[in-house]
Structure 1
Amino acid sequence: MEFGRLITAMVTPFDTNGVIDWDATGRLMDHLIDSQQSDSIVVSGTTGESPTLTDEEKEALFRFAVKHADGRCKIIAGTGSNDTAHSIHLTQIAEECGVDGVLLVVPYYNKPSQEGIFQHFKAIASSTKLPVMLYNVPSRTVASMTAETTLRLAALDNIVATKECASTDQVTQIVAGAPEGFRVYSGDDSAALPVLAVGGYGIVSVASHIIGADMKRMIQAYLNGSVQEAAELHQKCHPVFKGLFELPNPVPNPVLVKAALALRGLPVGGVRLPLVGATEAEMASLRELLA
């Protein structure tokens, strides 16, 4: 499965009552595909506030995204959780909905061993014919999947990629040992260019909601051998990479992404509790950043 170089982990639009806003979802998808040049879109990932979405809402999102994309980009369903049986259930629903692949996060909170992580992913992958992308984000899950465990999983037929947030060193180890065709994506926008430099394939991005076209140019410049141009584009994008996570203090990315989209004239509603909207200070800083 070719997911492309630039994948956007999409926020989930809500209306004023906190219900999924389908019109806004369609407009956002069009924006990501047409203006921001996303090759694939992740729906119901953690950026999409998956912990607060019901199974029924996730299924509806999968179906809507596949239909609305209509082949213009690939749709990747976020079906991972810290419950293997539930992840299998969601993955099978996603497959029936016609998605192109699934994204599976390392189980959070229950802190499984490396063998537990391996068996968790193996069980889910064995339950589906869909291509699987792993997701290692230790800052959120506490447990971190090692390069060795990732490479064990990469040997399974339908585990085709990983979204790696641990370190560039770990990306290097995975790239060096992975079978041919296994793709390593950065899960950190600010590491997109360094990950390409050590042999990674692309980025699963949040900032691409706002600066996807520049990111696509950066990736293409690097692939074309224009390293200086790629570096300059990285430097141009870097304040947004950092600002969407740290401006003026660490904020969950759906909050600032939704605020940034509203400032760009593409409102997608608020966030669900326990997240809360951006403060006035955060909005002021965001306006300055986007200017």
Structure 2
Amino acid sequence: MNLGNVVTAMVTPFNKEGRVDNAKLKELMDVLISRGTEAVVVGGTTGESATLSMEEKAALYKASVEASGGRIPVIAGTGMNDTHATAELSLQAQRDGVDGIMLVAPYYNKPSQQGLYEHFKTIADQLTLPVMLYNVPGRTMVNMLPETTIALSEVPNITAVKEASGNLDQITAVIANTPPEFKVYSGDDSLTLPAVAVGADGIVSVSSHVIGSEMQDMIQLYRSGRVEEAAKLHQRLVPFMQAMFIAPSPSPVKTALHIQGIDTGGVRLPLIPLSQTEREIVEHALNEAAGISRFPSS
């Protein structure tokens, strides 16, 4: 499964009543594709998975497949802290036609490294779809060590990892010790270029809802040898990336989209809308990002 350079961790659009809005989802999918997104993760952290019911998640996967229409891969974020329930939801997503599964490390339970290995392998063994692991210790309170990821890369259908540890040494160790066909993606927007520089395949991003094309440009500049230009673009994009995390995600990015006229609704409690001060920061970041032009073809 080819996910390309830029994968968007897609927000879940809600209507005024707070229910999932499939019409808005289709519109958002079109926008993301036009902005350089090459694959989407639906029902992940940015998609407010913690507040979606099992029925809502299953419906979201199916609606996302329909919205994509085969244009880009749809990855279902099915990970939970219950191995059996995660396997059941993953099988449902597989039946609904998604292209892959993303499994977050179990949160709250704080499993051992062997527990992480058994959790992921148990689920992957029941699936025929490719599986992306997701390591995000800031949310799960457990860091999947490189040795565990390396061991899991030997499971035939575990084909990628989203590394959101924020630790370049850890990302480097995973890249250096997994097969070439095993894909490593940064899970931190501001580490996109540094991660690519040490061999990562790309980014699973929140900021790409708005600046996906510019992130594509940055990666392509680096890979074409125009390293200084890539670095300068990185420097200009980082303030916007930082603005997307001034409050718990996805409140900032949903606000940014709304300012741009792309309605994805609000967020569900316990998340709340941005304060006026936070909104002004997002507006300023949007204005600054608007001045970042596409690089000339060479």
Map of 2:238 onto structure 1: 238
- Deviation for aligned residue 1:37: 1.1
Map of 1:70 onto structure 2: 69
Aligned residues: 286
- Correspondence 1:1-291 to 2 at 5 A: 1-34=1-34, 36-166=35-165, 167-246=167-246, 251-291=247-287
Q: Cα RMSD over matched residues? A: 0.7
- Deviation for aligned residue 1:124: 0.6
SS of the counterpart of 1:87? helix
SS of the counterpart of 1:194? helix
For structure 2, the residue ranges without an aligned partner over 5 or more in a row are 288-298
Residue type of the partner of 2:198?
V
1:97, 1:3 → 2: CA distance? Answer: 19
1:125-168 deviations in whole A, cap 9, x for unaligned? 00100100000000110011000000000011000000001111
1:252, 1:159 → 2: CA distance? Answer: 29
2:15, 2:180 → 1: CA distance? Answer: 44
1:174-230 deviations in whole A, cap 9, x for unaligned? 011001200110000000000001111100000000101100101111111111111
Report if aligned partners of 2:9, 2:204 keep a CA contact under 8 Å in 1: yes
Map of 2:291 onto structure 1: none
* TM-score normalised per structure 2: 0.95
Report if aligned partners of 2:78, 2:86 keep a CA contact under 8 Å in 1: yes
Report if aligned partners of 2:25, 2:67 keep a CA contact under 8 Å in 1: no
Residue type of the partner of 1:234?
H
Residue type of the partner of 2:76?
A
Report if aligned partners of 2:13, 2:20 keep a CA contact under 8 Å in 1: yes
Residue type of the partner of 1:232?
K
2:194, 2:72 → 1: CA distance? Answer: 25
SS of the counterpart of 2:273? coil
1:203, 1:289 → 2: CA distance? Answer: 20
SS of the counterpart of 2:71? coil
Residue type of the partner of 2:187?
G
Residue type of the partner of 1:73?
I
2:132, 2:36 → 1: CA distance? Answer: 20
1:181, 1:269 → 2: CA distance? Answer: 38
Residue type of the partner of 2:139?
R
2:168, 2:180 → 1: CA distance? Answer: 20
Residue type of the partner of 1:174?
V
Q: Where do 4+ consecutive residues of structure 1 move more than 2 Å?
A: none
Mean alpha-carbon deviation: is it higher for 226-235 or for 6-15? Answer: 226-235
Residue type of the partner of 2:177?
G
1:4, 1:284 → 2: CA distance? Answer: 33
**Amino-acid identity (%):** 50
2:71, 2:236 → 1: CA distance? Answer: 28
1:209-266 deviations in whole A, cap 9, x for unaligned? 01011001011111111111111111111101111112xxxx1111011101001110
2:262, 2:16 → 1: CA distance? Answer: 15
Mean alpha-carbon deviation: is it higher for 216-225 or for 125-134? Answer: 216-225
2:202, 2:112 → 1: CA distance? Answer: 28
* TM-score normalised per structure 1: 0.97
1:214, 1:43 → 2: CA distance? Answer: 22
1:23-45 deviations in whole A, cap 9, x for unaligned? 111111100012x1101001100
